[in-house]
């Protein structure tokens, strides 16, 4: 196979600090290349150089043997590079066809030729097996479908190289499966794919070659077939990780700390009941739309509950968010950027946000800065948050994993009896994932109850005492640790009647 894109001693420095060190690599045409590495390993820098967002400090890029120096993103697009980003860049208020043609509307007599637009869009959509009308508004599409529209856009521009950056983070397993089929099809059509993901199983499954970056250097380039996930992790972090999950340090206690009885909210939850013991980690698995995040919001008091009762430490749990926090409920939201962090505020202000009222001195609630600084510094050390001066550095400047530690950290400034962790490891690299798991274990060992919500079944199986499965707002079943089975849990989550189904206590 011919080489489509090659890098020769490619180097990028930011203010003298190398982010990519003399990378030499060939990407062959028609290949799916998985790119992995911890956050900060240089993946984004490399992609930004391919996309014309930043220029290399030294070294050379070649496109089909020709020197390739994109000065701006549109140069890269013109050559045939397309990006499918984590956060999609679609205009949700426009139709599919309008999105695809947004930068070159076909015109006839100075008017937009809508018929031509529709026809071409329909062709592209059928190529991708997306069965919706070209005039459908993008905001009515599911995340997976939106991604296919992005791909259609790339195909419309005759992209040669399609770069997927964490494409599966907001997709359901079904949508992910469909995306992978699409990628297979693109490869069969001779397109070259760069696939960046933290989900190493996916990378192995999908790629022909896997490229590992660490500290801005190429540390491995292996055929995916013989490159197993533990080896990938070793290459990424430069040492063997003692297992993916920490050992649990304490067994759950006997007393029931939190219980939900017959929760119902029309269209969201139906007769959901379950208990969590003190010191227990209860996993909650379900597909998107199963009601798992919605239930978390209801327990935290963000959304209304029509029927049913919540009990924490034998007292009914009622009222708004503030009442629940006062009672000892902590909620790590799945949407870190929009709901978890004050992105532009310093890290210390983020850490102290939940407990800030405890640092006010009567009568005017003047802040006790000395105590506040001491506590936030302590937390930074304790949680190994990799940051400079937390009083000035904004949360935005942290990597995903460290941002997530800040989101969790703000709940650790005070004691909570129930921790709701909604997708706590989404978009977080392997090393930080391990630290977050260890933290969940520590919370449980200290006697708190943890409700761990995730769409990664593996991590639930690695960390939880029990796993509860939901589908369409109903509890489908509950598995004890001894009975964990990926197949049975998945089957149940997809709504198939699993044999030997136990109903939640």
User: Which phi and psi (to 5°) does residue 147 adopt?
Assistant: -65, -40
The residue among 219, 466, 424, 459 whose CA lies nearest residue 334 is: 424
- Residues in Cβ contact with 375 at an 8 Å cutoff, skipping those fewer than 6 apart: 352, 359, 413
Instruction: Identify residues 45-104 at the interface with other proteins (CB under 8 A).
Output: 45
For other proteins, what does the binding mask look like between residues 255 and 294, x meaning CB under 8 A? ----------------------------------------
Nearer of residues 17 and 482 to other proteins, judged by Cβ = 17
218 scored as a contact of other proteins (CB under 8 A): no
Nearer of residues 331 and 479 to other proteins, judged by Cβ = 331
Which of 16, 67, 266, 500 binds other proteins (CB under 8 A)? It is 16
For other proteins, what does the binding mask look like between residues 436 and 455, x meaning CB under 8 A? --------------------
Distance CA 66, CA 6 (A): 10
376 scored as a contact of other proteins (CB under 8 A): no
Burial of 118 (0-12, 13-18, 19+ CB in 10 A): middle
Q: Which stretch binds other proteins (CB under 8 A): 39-47, 119-127, 151-159, 195-203?
A: 39-47
Q: Which residue has the tokens 């995903």?
A: 400
Which of 4, 32, 41, 450 binds other proteins (CB under 8 A)? It is 41
Count of positions (residues) in the chain = 505
CB of 371 to other proteins, least distance (A): 13
Distance of CA 437 to the CA centre of its chain: 15
Nearer of residues 255 and 357 to other proteins, judged by Cβ = 357
Distance CA 461, CA 353 (A): 32
Which of 360, 374, 384, 480 binds other proteins (CB under 8 A)? It is 360
DSSP 25-85: EEEETT-EEEEE--TTSSHHHHHHHHTTSS--SEEEEEETTEE---SSHHHHHHHTEEEE-
CB of 110 to other proteins, least distance (A): 35
Q: Which stretch binds other proteins (CB under 8 A): 121-129, 303-311, 360-368, 454-462?
A: 360-368
CB of 83 to other proteins, least distance (A): 19
DSSP 441-504: HHHHHTT-EEEEEES-HHHHHHH-SEEEEEETTEEEEEEEGGG--HHHHHHHHTT---TTPPPP
CB of 240 to other proteins, least distance (A): 18
Nearer of residues 208 and 339 to other proteins, judged by Cβ = 339
Question: Quick check: 471 and 495 in contact, CB under 8 A?
Answer: yes
Nearer of residues 252 and 400 to other proteins, judged by Cβ = 400
CB of 40 to other proteins, least distance (A): 4
Which of 22, 113, 202, 215 binds other proteins (CB under 8 A)? It is 215
Nearer of residues 177 and 367 to other proteins, judged by Cβ = 367
- Residues in Cβ contact with 62 at an 8 Å cutoff, skipping those fewer than 6 apart: 3, 5, 6, 8, 68
CB of 344 to other proteins, least distance (A): 6
Nearer of residues 398 and 461 to other proteins, judged by Cβ = 398
Question: Quick check: 211 and 33 in contact, CB under 8 A?
Answer: yes
Nearer of residues 256 and 302 to other proteins, judged by Cβ = 302
Q: Which stretch binds other proteins (CB under 8 A): 40-48, 178-186, 468-476, 493-501?
A: 40-48
Q: Which stretch binds other proteins (CB under 8 A): 353-361, 441-449, 457-465, 481-489?
A: 353-361
364 scored as a contact of other proteins (CB under 8 A): yes
Instruction: Identify residues 384-423 at the interface with other proteins (CB under 8 A).
Output: 386-388, 392-393, 396-399, 402, 410
Cβ–Cβ contacts within 10 Å for residue 433, how many? Answer: 21
Q: What is the 3-state secondary structure (H, E, C) of 241-307?
A: CCCCCCCCCCCCCCCEEEEEEEEEECCCEEEEEEEEECCCEEEEEECCCCCHHHHHHHHCCCCCCCE
Distance CA 430, CA 36 (A): 10
Q: How many residues bind other proteins (CB under 8 A)?
A: 55
CB of 239 to other proteins, least distance (A): 14
Instruction: Identify residues 306-345 at the interface with other proteins (CB under 8 A).
Output: 321-322, 325, 331, 333, 338-345
Burial of 499 (0-12, 13-18, 19+ CB in 10 A): exposed
Nearer of residues 69 and 396 to other proteins, judged by Cβ = 396
Which of 367, 384, 446, 505 binds other proteins (CB under 8 A)? It is 367
Distance CA 230, CA 224 (A): 13
User: Which phi and psi (to 5°) does residue 24 adopt?
Assistant: -125, 125
Which of 145, 280, 349, 465 binds other proteins (CB under 8 A)? It is 349
Binding stretches for other proteins (CB under 8 A):
14-17, 19, 38-42, 44-45, 214-216, 300, 302, 321-322, 325, 331, 333, 338-345, 349, 352-354, 356-357, 359-360, 364-367, 369, 386-388, 392-393, 396-399, 402, 410, 431
């Amino acid at each position: 196979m011919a080489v489509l894109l090659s890098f020769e001693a490619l180097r990028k420095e930011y203010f003298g600090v190398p982010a990519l060190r003399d990378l030499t690599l060939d990407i062959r045409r028609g290949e799916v290349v998985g790119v992995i590495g911890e956050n900060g390993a240089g993946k984004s820098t490399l992609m930004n150089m391919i996309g014309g967002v930043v220029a290399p400090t030294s070294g050379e890029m070649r496109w089909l043997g020709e020197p390739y120096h994109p000065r701006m993103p549109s140069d890269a697009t013109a050559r045939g590079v397309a990006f499918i980003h984590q956060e999609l860049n679609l205009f949700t208020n426009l139709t599919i066809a309008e999105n695809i043609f947004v930068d070159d509307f076909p015109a006839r007599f100075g008017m937009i030729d809508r018929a031509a637009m529709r026809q071409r869009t329909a062709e592209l959509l059928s190529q991708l097996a997306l069965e919706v009308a070209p005039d459908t508004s993008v905001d009515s599409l599911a995340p997976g479908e939106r991604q296919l529209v992005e791909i259609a856009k790339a195909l419309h521009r005759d992209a040669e190289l399609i770069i997927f950056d964490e494409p599966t983070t907001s997709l359901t397993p079904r949508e992910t499966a469909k995306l992978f089929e699409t990628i297979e099809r693109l490869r069969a059509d001779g397109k070259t794919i760069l696939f960046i993901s933290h989900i190493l199983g996916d990378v192995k499954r999908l790629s022909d070659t896997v490229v590992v970056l660490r500290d801005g250097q190429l540390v491995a380039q292996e055929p995916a077939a013989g490159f197993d996930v533990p080896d990938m992790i070793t290459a990424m972090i430069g040492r063997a990780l003692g297992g993916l999950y920490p050992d649990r340090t304490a067994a759950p206690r006997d007393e029931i700390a939190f219980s939900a009885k017959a929760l119902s909210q029309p269209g969201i939850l139906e007769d959901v009941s379950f208990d969590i013991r003190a010191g227990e980690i209860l996993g909650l698995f379900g597909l998107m739309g199963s009601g798992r995040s919605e239930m978390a919001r209801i327990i935290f008091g963000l959304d209304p509950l029509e029927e049913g009762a919540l009990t924490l430490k034998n007292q009914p749990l009622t009222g708004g968010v503030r009442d629940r926090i006062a009672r000892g409920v902590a909620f790590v939201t799945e949407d870190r950027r929009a709901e978890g962090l004050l992105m532009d505020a310093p890290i210390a202000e983020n850490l102290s946000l939940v407990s800030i009222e405890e640092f006010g001195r009567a009568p005017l609630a003047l802040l006790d800065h000395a105590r506040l600084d001491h506590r936030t510094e302590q937390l930074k050390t304790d949680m190994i948050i990799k940051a400079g001066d937390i009083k000035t550095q904004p949360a935005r400047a942290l990597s995903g994993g460290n941002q997530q530690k800040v989101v969790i950290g703000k709940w650790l400034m005070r004691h909570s009896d129930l921790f709701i962790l909604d997708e706590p490891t989404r978009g977080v690299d392997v090393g930080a994932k391990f630290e977050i798991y260890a933290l969940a274990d520590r919370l449980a060992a200290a006697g708190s109850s943890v409700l761990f919500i995730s769409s990664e079944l593996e991590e639930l199986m690695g960390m939880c005492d029990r796993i509860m499965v939901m589908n369409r707002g109903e509890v489908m079943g509950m598995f004890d640790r001894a009975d964990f089975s990926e197949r049975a849990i998945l089957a149940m989550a997809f709504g198939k009647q699993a044999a030997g189904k136990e109903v939640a206590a």
